[in-house]
């Protein structure tokens, strides 16, 4: 029986030892992190942001366009009653037209001669043709290639103003320069 008591005591001792070990937490000691010297950062100088160099959309007419021609140059000149000679005030506009057309050599124009409602239809067609031709010759004399210019007469058929007084008739005695090809 002593042997049995001894075995029983041994089993009890082992069981208590295992139980004691299982309830006890093992403390893990981690060493503190090694201190390494970090280099001191060098301050970077302040650089202001670069200016936005994106071009702004044009605020006016596109250069070389119909609108550019009308707004910045002028597309119409006026004539005196029963006259087809270019007036002095019209020369300034025609000089601008010629310079613009020389600058944009791909543009072709049609000069449209007009008359007021007075006179016969035939007379006004002939007068409108003479006015268109006078403008064409003036532009050609300023360096515009003649093959870029065509002319037409509308006589009294295309009035700007439908009035029947001198103010309306003065508006209808004109030559209109229409861009027909090559404008942007």
- Domain extent, residue 88, equals 66-181
* Domain assignment of residue 131, yes or no: yes
**CATH for 110:** 3.30.1330.60
So what's the pLDDT on residue 11?
65
The distance of Cα 6 from the centroid of its chain, to the nearest Å, equals: 105
Give pLDDT < 70 ranges for the chain. 1-3, 5-6, 8-11, 13-36, 56-58
Note the pLDDT of residue 120.
97
Domain tally, the chain: 1
Asked if residue 16 is part of any domain, the answer here is no
Per-residue model confidence as pLDDT tens digits over 121-141: 999 999 999 999 999 999 999
pLDDT computed for residue 42 by the predictor: 74
Q: Report the alpha-carbon distance of residue 184 to residue 180 in Å, rounded.
A: 11
**Do the domain assignments include residue 83?**
yes
Determine, yes or no, domain membership for 165. yes
87 within some domain? yes
The residues near 125 (Cβ < 8 Å, ≥ 6 apart) are 115, 153, 154, 155
Q: Please choose, from the candidates 177, 178, 175, the residue with its C-alpha nearest in 3D space to the C-alpha of residue 83.
A: 175
Instruction: Please indicate, yes or no, if residue 100 is contained in any of the structural domains.
Output: yes
Q: What is the pLDDT of residue 13?
A: 65
Q: What's residue 110's pLDDT?
A: 98
The pTM (predicted TM-score) of the whole model is: 0.68
Residue 80 and residue 90: Cα distance in Å, rounded?
11
Give 95-103's long-range contacts (Cβ < 8 A, gap of 24+). 95/142, 96/72, 97/69, 97/73, 97/139, 97/177, 98/138, 98/139, 98/142, 98/143, 98/144, 99/142, 100/68, 100/69, 100/72, 100/73, 101/139, 101/144, 101/148, 102/142, 102/143, 102/144
Task: Let me know if residue 6 belongs to a domain.
Answer: no
pLDDT at 27: 62
Distance CA 97, CA 168 (A): 25
Q: Does 172 fall in a domain?
A: yes
């Amino acid at each position: 029986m002593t042997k049995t008591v001894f075995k029983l005591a041994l089993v009890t001792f082992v069981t208590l030892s295992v139980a004691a070990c299982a309830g006890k937490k093992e403390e893990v000691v981690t060493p503190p992190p090694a201190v390494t010297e970090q280099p001191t950062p060098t301050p970077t100088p302040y650089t202001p942001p670069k200016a936005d160099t994106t071009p702004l959309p044009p605020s006016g007419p596109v250069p070389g366009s119909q609108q550019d021609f009308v707004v910045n140059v002028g597309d119409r000149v006026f004539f005196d009653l029963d006259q087809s000679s270019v007036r002095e005030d019209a020369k300034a506009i025609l000089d601008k037209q010629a310079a613009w057309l020389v600058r944009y050599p791909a543009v072709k124009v049609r000069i449209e001669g007009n008359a007021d409602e007075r006179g016969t239809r035939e007379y006004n067609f002939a007068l409108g043709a003479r006015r268109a031709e006078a403008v064409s010759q003036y532009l050609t004399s300023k360096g515009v290639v003649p093959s870029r210019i065509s002319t037409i007469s509308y006589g009294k058929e295309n009035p700007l103003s439908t009035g029947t007084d001198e103010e309306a008739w003065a508006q209808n005695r004109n030559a209109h320069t229409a861009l027909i090809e090559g404008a942007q």
